[in-house]
Structures are given as C-alpha cells and as structure tokens.
Homo-oligomer: A and B are copies of this chain.
Amino acid sequence: LNKYGTAVLVNIINEVGGFPTKNWTRGTFEKAYEISGEYLAEKYLKARKGCWGCVIQCARVAEVSKGPYYTPASEGPEYETIWANGANTMIGNLEAIIKINYLLNDLGFDTISFGNTVATLMELYEKARKGELPEDKAKKLLSLLQDIEPSWGNADAVIQLIWRTAYRIGIGDYTAEGAKRLAEEFGSPDSAIHVKGLELPAYDPRAINSMALSYATSNRGGCHLRAYAVSFDVLGVPKKFDPLAIDKEKVKLVKWQQDYFAVIDSLVVCKFNTFSTGPEDYVPLLQAALGWDDLTTEELLTIGERIYNVERLFAVREGYGYKDYLPKRLLEEPLPDGPAKGRTAKEALEKYLPYYYELRGWENGKPKPETLKRLGLEEFLYIVS
C-alpha cells in the first residue's frame, strides 16, 4: 500500500480473473500492467501521502507533465478509479485515467459510479449501432450524443462526457442519473451492473465468490466497504480461501466483517487497519477512552450487528433495498476468460444467501421479530410485524 498505493491491486485482481473488463463482460484486461500501481509508481508518481501520523501513507500524488492528458500533481488515482475508468471502459492509457480522475475529483463525482455509467453508455452505444436497441431508443441515444463517440477505449469522449454530465447537457442529462436509470431509459436495463441502484466496484463475484454475498447483502447497494470479502478470498486476511470454492465458512466471515466494519465506520477508523487488527484490539482502547470497563469483544460485535440490522430496518420501512440480489449478467453470463472462465455467481449466491439469513436471523431480507428482541431493538418491531 505504501509503495504502490491501492492500485497495487490491479495486477493481483487481474490475475485471479476478477478484474471486470468491458462493462463486466470479461474478467481480465490485456493492458492491466499499463494501468497498474507499479506502472504508476514508475512513470507518474510525484509523492506519497497519507493521514497525519499514519504509517501506511497509501495516497498517491500523480502528475502528467505534458501532452493532451496534462494533469498537474494531484491526488490519486486509486485502484477503484483506475479500474472503473480503465479496464471497465477499455481505456488502457494511464495518462488519460489520471486526467479523468483529476476532473472527476474536481467536479465532485464518484469515480466508481461514473466509470460504470460510462461503460454502460459504451455498451448502449455499441448496441444502438448494431441495431440491438429498440429503434426509437437508439435514435434518441445517437442524437443526444452530439459530437461524442463513446466507443470502447475512447478517452477523449469520456473527458467530454465528464463536462456534459456535470452540467447535464445532451446525453449528460441521462448519464448524471447513474448507470441504472441510463440503461432503463434506453431500453436495456441489464446493461447496468448495479445492486440496488449502486454501481459495483472492481471485483467480479464470478471469480471471487464471497463478493457475491457481500454485494447482494450490502445495505446501501453494491459496495466493497461493507464486507471486503476480497481480504480472505484473495489476500488471505484473516486466512486464505479458494476464491472459487463454495465454503460456508466464508458466509460467517462476510457477516462478521459487516458487523465489525459497522463498528469501525462508527469509530471513524480507516478500514486498512483491519488488515492487521481485529475487533478485540479496539476493546481496550474504548475502555480507556470511555471508562467502559465491562465492554467485551463479543459485545462490540453485537453493537455492529445492531447497526447492520437498523440499517436494514430502514430499507424495510422505506420499501426499497431489502431485496438481496445480483445483476443478471453476473448470474447468467459465464466469464469467457481467465482463471474463472466458465463461472457465474449464481451457485455461490444461491448457496450462501439462505445460510446468511439463518446466521442473521432474517427472512427474505427482513429481520425476524425474535432477532430484534435478541438485539434489544424492540422499538422497531412495528416495521416487521
């Protein structure tokens, strides 16, 4: 993390075949090395940065000193950004990605959502040209594009699109709504790879199967920060699993991470610490800081579980977001390449989800009344009864 930043993951995830490419139609990108953390460090890195007092210093300061992608020394790009705006849109030029990252940050975009939305647009554009969209939708799409040609890998079109999206001009008025609404608008809803409206990050659950459960059950939609199952499926923390093997132990770890991370997030602690610390390490800190002498590790995780349940109760009450699922493409279209060739995420999701609900005390995505009672959340019983 210090040497190459989060982008050290590019080569690692590409090697397990879980580096989503061309809007999630492939699992490896032939230009992965050219957009990797190693390449970044070699060519464009000006400095390393980090929070005050942190020994990791994971942040990058990158610069493109000249040419069409000229970018002053500025923060990033991070792994997720490189992936979403690189492999997923087939852009293999790190200079272009650095500029895209700079503009997105400057204008206040989420780089993961934007990269996915662009990839969705590129797929829609390809379909429109091939006559695979409804005729009126294709016509509308092509006319809204004006002078942009969002073909795979066209970085210049992406740079134009950033501005149009920021100011909702032409097609930008649609891309500003995110991948889900964009794909629905143009008659191809499965071209958007999202869970509950949130675009997925840089790990293909067909190749890293614990992520199937992690994405599906994330309360805020497809996210890698609720349970980072990559840590055990790929990186070996707390222990190494085969990312393609079905193993119920992983379900326990997903639930454990979700609860633990809810605590970590509430403590405003950086998640990178969890690569070397466990919940037990925070118990003495909290005892010392708050005088909370009888706190135990078990109780700390129960606090996390309570948070996770309350989040879910919010979704149940609002009527959106408690149905746990994965995008059709990941369930039905096998990966055509890499170590996970031929795999979908269907089996993992179908086998993991019932056991997960059992562990959580949920039914069809909703906490059971007895679970709320066990957690001392009786005040919310009205939502599930």
1/0 per position for A152-168, CB-CB distance to B under 8 A? Answer: 00101101100100110
- Contact present for B147 and A103 (CB under 8 Å): yes
- In chain A, positions 121-173 with a C-beta closer than 8 Å to chain B are 146-149, 154, 156-157, 159-160, 163, 166-167
A68 to B68, CA, bound (A): 11
- Contact present for A106 and B156 (CB under 8 Å): no
Which B residues are CB-close (under 8 A) to A154? 68
- In chain A, positions 48-96 with a C-beta closer than 8 Å to chain B are 66, 68, 70-72, 74
Which B residues are CB-close (under 8 A) to A68? 154, 156
Of all chain B residues, the one with the shortest Cβ separation from A106 is B146
| A99 part of interface (Cβ distance < 8 Å) | yes
Which B residues are CB-close (under 8 A) to A70? 147-149, 157
Which B residues are CB-close (under 8 A) to A72? 146-147
Which B residues are CB-close (under 8 A) to A148? 70
Of all chain B residues, the one with the shortest Cβ separation from A103 is B147
- Contact present for A147 and B66 (CB under 8 Å): no
Which B residues are CB-close (under 8 A) to A163? 163, 167
Checking B146, B147, B149, B167 against A167 with a beta-carbon cut-off of 8 angstroms, the contacting residue is B167
A111 to chain B, nearest CB (A): 15
Which B residues are CB-close (under 8 A) to A66? 149
Which B residues are CB-close (under 8 A) to A167? 163, 166-167
